[in-house]
Amino acid sequence: MNAPDNSSFADAGENLALPDLAETAFLREQVATIAAYVECFPSDERDRRALAWIEANAGHYRQAWQMRASSQCPLPVSAGN
């Protein structure tokens, strides 16, 4: 039996950049939001409800998060002040 050569996967992993911290924060917050939303549903409905939430809200949620995140960034201080 021939084993697949997985060396290309190891090599590719060395070239991956660290994840963008803002993207990581966004994803963690969104997962927490979805988890809180589905918490009130019976466990056998949660996966379906989570997917429905994502379908209905993901685009708007990202836009709102980006607006909130950009408003929290400090403005650069001018050299003259």
pLDDT along the chain (81 residues), means of 10: 48 52 84 94 96 90 81 55 42
Residue 43, pLDDT score: 95
pTM for this structure? 0.57
Residue 50, pLDDT score: 94
Residue 49, pLDDT score: 96
Residue 41, pLDDT score: 96
Residue 8, pLDDT score: 46
CA dist 39 and 35 (Å) reads 6
49 CB-near residues (< 8 Å, 6+ apart): 37, 38, 41
Residue 19, pLDDT score: 57
CA dist 29 and 61 (Å) reads 10
- Give ∠ CA 66-17-23 in degrees, rounded to 5: 15
CA dihedral for 16, 19, 23, 28, sign (positive or negative): positive
